[in-house]
Amino acid sequence: MSGRLRPTTASLAAALSLLLFLAAAPVFPDTDAASVRLAEPARLLGEGVNPGPQGAARPAPPEAQRGAAMTLTVPRLGIRELPVPTGSTQRELDREGILHLAGTGPPWREGSNTFIAGHALGFRQTRVPYVFYRLERLRPGDEIVVRDRRGRAYVFRVYDRLTVRPQDYWVTYPVAGKTTISLQTCTPVPTFERRLVVRGELVDGPPS
């Protein structure tokens, strides 16, 4: 009889459980290769060039965060009055963790689509890691609230969610007949092969 141990059903089940846990657990990536994969929200938006190996993005100075044109509140995700800077580069997104795409919106412009990209994970230097890690939890009717620099609130209600390819730039375009907000992140973790987009329609705001 061979001295080798035969795996039992219990040991196989335990090993499978461990592998599934490791695949799903959030981690901070450290390599440039991981950066390229997490960079894809900006690729979707037409960035086209990923940051080269020039070192990590530096944290934004506090005054830059205070100067954000809007804050974001998403009660179901536990996001409260989060400053959202405006930008268009991958380096900015990696640094901040969340970014209002320049040229979209703002929510106080009728007929606009305010497009906000956020990392599902992030990096060690990211100001707000995991910001949209649970984006898939949003359901129709959930509230998304944006406030401008004067504190005026623009209330959106979720009405749609879709999964698209990285090259589907059309998700950044305005939606006919609506004033909308779009929240986008990479999915699924950890492959980031697709983009999850959750859309809300403006239902309340200050008088024009």
Active site residues: 119, 186
| Amino acid of residue 111 | G
Listing DSSP states for 40-63 in one string gives HHHHHTT------SS-PPPPPPHH
CA distance 132 to 196: 10
CA distance 91 to 104: 19
First to last CA, the chain: 85
